[in-house]
Amino acid sequence: MAISKRYDFVLLFDVADGNPNGDPDAGNLPRVDAETGHGLVTDVCLKRKVRNYIQIKSKDKAPNLIFVKEKSILNDSIYRAYEYMKIDLTKEPDNPSDGKKRNKSGTGQGSEIDQARKFMCQNYYDIRTFGAVLSTGANAGQVRGAVQLTFGRSVDPVVSLEHSITRMAVTTAADAEKQSGDNRTMGRKFTIPYGLYRTYGFVSAPLAEQTGFSEEDLNLLWEALSTMFEHDRSAARGMMATKGLYIFEHGSKMGNVPAHELFERVVVKRKDATKPTRSFDDYEVIINEAGLSEKKIRLLRMVG
C-alpha cells in the first residue's frame, strides 16, 4: 500500500576537514555560492548516497534494485523489463489497441509502455522514490518520484582550504627518468575545516500512489538519510555525519500546512558568533512545536 500522508523534512549534516561535494568544473573545489560564500551540496550527491545505502542494504535485489547505479547501462535495464514480461518488441503488438504495426522495432508502444513503467516501479527503489526518465531505448515512459530533495546549503559561509600533497611514486618509467629516480608526484587537495549543511525534503502521497512508494519504502528512506554517511567514507570527504532529521507528518494526503512554514520552525543558531565553528556543538537547534497538533502535524525526530 502506498503512503497516505504527506511528509516534509529538514536534514542537517556536517563535514569536518573534508570536501562534501567537489565541482569537476572548478578543479574539484568544494561547491560554494559565489555571492554569499555558503557551501553547497547538490541534491544529486545526496540521492547518490541514498541509492548506495539501499543497494548495500538490499544486496541489489528486487523489489529494491537500483536503476541509476555505478557503471550501469540504463537502456539494458529497461529492455530486461520487457523480456521479463515476455513482450517481444521485434514483433507486432499483441494488444489490438496498441496498433496493428509496431512503429519502431525494439520500442514499446501503447499499453506496453504502461506495463513496463509499472514493472520498473515495482522492482526499482530509486524509481519509486526519486522517479526516472525511462523513455529512452525500449521506452518505459517517465516517472515522477514521490520524494524530492533540495540542494544542501551551509548554515554559515565556509572556508575552502588548499593543501599540497606528495605521492612517493610516479606513473610511468618516463616520469621516473625525468626525475632521475626521485619518483615524486605533487598534487592538490581541497577541504572545508567545518560546515553544517541544511537540506529540505518533500514526500508526496499522490505521487506515491502513482509509483507504489509504500510505508516500508518510507522507513527505509529515513534509515538511509540517518546513516548513509556511515557507508560512504572517503579520505577526500573527511568526517561527515547526519546531525538532525526532523520530519513533519501531515494528517492528510494533500497536507495541512505549507512546507516553508514548517521549515521556518527549525532554527539553527551559532552559540558564539565571535568564534569560527569547528563542530556541531558550536550550534544550537531550536524547534518551535507550538500549535502543531492543532494543525494536525506530528513532528518526528529520527536524529537530533
Residues of the chain with pLDDT under 70: none
Residues ≥6 apart with Cβ < 8 Å to 90:
102, 105, 106
pLDDT of residue 185: 84
pLDDT of residue 182: 84
pLDDT of residue 187: 87
pLDDT of residue 181: 80
pLDDT of residue 200: 98
- Whether 215 contacts 3, CB under 8 Å: yes
pLDDT of residue 94: 87
CA geometry: angle 290, 291, 295, nearest 5 deg: 145
pLDDT of residue 129: 98
pLDDT of residue 183: 84
Which residue has cell 553544517? Answer: 196
DSSP class per residue in the chain? -B--S-EEEEEEEEEEEE-SSEEGGGTTEEPB-TTT-EEEE-HHHHHHHHHHHHHHHHTT-TTSB-SS-TT--HHHHHHHHHHHTT--TTS--SSGGG-SS-SSTT---THHHHHHHHHHHHHBHHHHHHEEE--STT---EEE-SEEEPPEEEEEE---EEEEEEES--SSHHHHHHTTT---EEEEEEEEEEEEEEEEEEE-HHHHHHHT-BHHHHHHHHHHHHHGGGG---TTT-EEEEEEEEEEEESSSS-SS-HHHHHTTEEEEES-TTS---SGGGEEEEE--TTTTTTTEEEEEEE-
Summarised one tens digit per residue, pLDDT across range 148-160 is: 999 999 999 999 9
Torsion angle in degrees (nearest 10) through CA of 111, 112, 113, 118 = 90
pLDDT of residue 304: 77
CA geometry: angle 192, 193, 196, nearest 5 deg: 80
